[in-house]
Structure 1
Amino acid sequence: MASAIILIRHGRVAIASDGLFSRERFLRYLEDYDTAPLCLDSRPPEELTERLRLASGLFASELPRARESARMLSTDREIRYEAIFNEEPHHVVPRLLFQMPLLAWFAWSRIGESTNRSLRRAIAERGSIAAKRLTVEAHHGTTALIGHGWFNRAIARSLIESGWRCVLRHRGSEPWSFRVFMRE
């Protein structure tokens, strides 16, 4: 029997993200993003809810956007919320004096992290721990995680390194996107 792990990104967060951001505004945005609710019209795709009906283990990050997404996806099932699945914080926010669009700040921040060897190693280790947690649960049946885009990538890399295959990638890295990993 094949084991399956589904990595899901939370729903769309209700927070304004338009215009140009100074470094200070970007840092405030990050704080606000961690506490903001989901958009009222943010609904998971039917294909995802169908897949989750088969899941025996459901996990979610402890952050509010993942908790709210998990409740929307599974109102009548036990969900285990664990900090190991929380989004990786932005460790490197450059001290730039000009304003940029939000996407540019995210890119600069993540590029800065990827060039820091010790930080990259720490993120990979945390991703490996999270992947192992999901792998243990997947021995009992399909296991799903409602998490975050950036940290789900770290988990995905670790799953692939340990022999899992990504058999489905739905909607890239948008809100409610998901990836399905299988292992014989």
Structure 2
Amino acid sequence: MTSTIVIIRHGRVAITSDGLFSREDFLRYVEDYDAAPLCSDSRPPEELIEQLRLARTLLASELPRARESSRILFLDQDIRYDATFNEEPHHLVPRLPFRMPLVAWFAWSRVGEAMSPSLQRAVAARGSIAAKLLIVEAHHGPTALIGHGWFNRVIARSLIESGWRCSLRHGGSEPWSFRVFSSRE
């Protein structure tokens, strides 16, 4: 028998991200992003809907964009929200005296995390815990998670290290992208 886990990134968030940002602007943007709703026209692709038709267990991050995405995808089905799947915070945002595009701030933040062995271990340990929760559920039937771009990659790495394989990848890390993982029991 094959176990299946679908890991999904939430829908497109209704927030402006153009222009140059100071460090303080970036930190405020992250807070606003965490609280923002989805764009009113943010709809999942049909390929994702097809993947979810057989899901027995539905999990989601507790953050608003994941909650709203799960309601769009699963409607009235029973969804378990769990902070274990929340996006990894931006722990290390450098104090730079100039303005940059958001993508540069996000990169600097994640590079800083990668340069900290203790933080790297903590993030990997959290990803391993999240992956183990998904694996336990997947042994009872197809499982789906609505999560976030960065932390979904951490979870995916832990699944692969646990012997799971990515059998389908739809999209990169854009909104509504997803990966399907499978394992032979």
Secondary structure at the residue paired with 2:176?
A: coil
**Residue identity opposite 2:51 in structure 1:** R
**Residue correspondence of structure 1 range 25-40 to structure 2 within 5 A:** 25-40=25-40
Q: For residue 9 of structure 1, what is the aligned residue in structure 2?
A: 9
CA distances 1:72-95 after superposition (whole Å, capped 9, x unpaired): 000121000001000000001010
What displacement does 1:60 show? 0.1
Secondary structure at the residue paired with 2:55?
A: coil
Question: Which contiguous aligned blocks of 4+ residues in structure 1 show a shift greater than 2 angstroms?
Answer: none
Aligned-residue Cα RMSD (Å) equals: 0.5
Q: For residue 133 of structure 2, what is the aligned residue in structure 1?
A: 133
Q: For residue 180 of structure 1, what is the aligned residue in structure 2?
A: 180
Q: What TM-score do the two structures reach when normalised by structure 1?
A: 0.99
What displacement does 1:140 show? 0.9
Identity in percent: 77
CA distances 1:35-73 after superposition (whole Å, capped 9, x unpaired): 000001100001101111110000000000000000000
CA distances 1:105-148 after superposition (whole Å, capped 9, x unpaired): 00000010011000000000000000000000001111000000
What displacement does 1:177 show? 0.3
Determine the C-alpha separation between the residues in 2 that align with 1:46 and 1:69.
Answer: 14
Determine the C-alpha separation between the residues in 2 that align with 1:173 and 1:127.
Answer: 17
Secondary structure at the residue paired with 2:31?
A: helix
Structure 2 stretches of 5 or more lacking a match? none
Determine the C-alpha separation between the residues in 2 that align with 1:125 and 1:163.
Answer: 17
Secondary structure at the residue paired with 1:100?
A: coil
Determine the C-alpha separation between the residues in 1 that align with 2:8 and 2:46.
Answer: 13
Q: What TM-score do the two structures reach when normalised by structure 2?
A: 0.99
Secondary structure at the residue paired with 1:145?
A: strand
Q: For residue 64 of structure 2, what is the aligned residue in structure 1?
A: 64
Q: Does 1:51 align with 2:51?
A: yes
Secondary structure at the residue paired with 1:32?
A: helix
Structure 1 stretches of 5 or more lacking a match? none
**Equivalent residue pairs, number:** 184
Determine the C-alpha separation between the residues in 2 that align with 1:142 and 1:94.
Answer: 41
Q: For residue 22 of structure 1, what is the aligned residue in structure 2?
A: 22
Q: Does 1:123 align with 2:123?
A: yes
Q: For residue 111 of structure 2, what is the aligned residue in structure 1?
A: 111
Secondary structure at the residue paired with 1:134?
A: helix
Determine the C-alpha separation between the residues in 1 that align with 2:120 and 2:170.
Answer: 26
Determine the C-alpha separation between the residues in 1 that align with 2:150 and 2:144.
Answer: 17
Determine the C-alpha separation between the residues in 2 that align with 1:74 and 1:46.
Answer: 13
Q: For residue 144 of structure 1, what is the aligned residue in structure 2?
A: 144
Determine the C-alpha separation between the residues in 2 that align with 1:2 and 1:70.
Answer: 24
Q: For residue 162 of structure 2, what is the aligned residue in structure 1?
A: 162
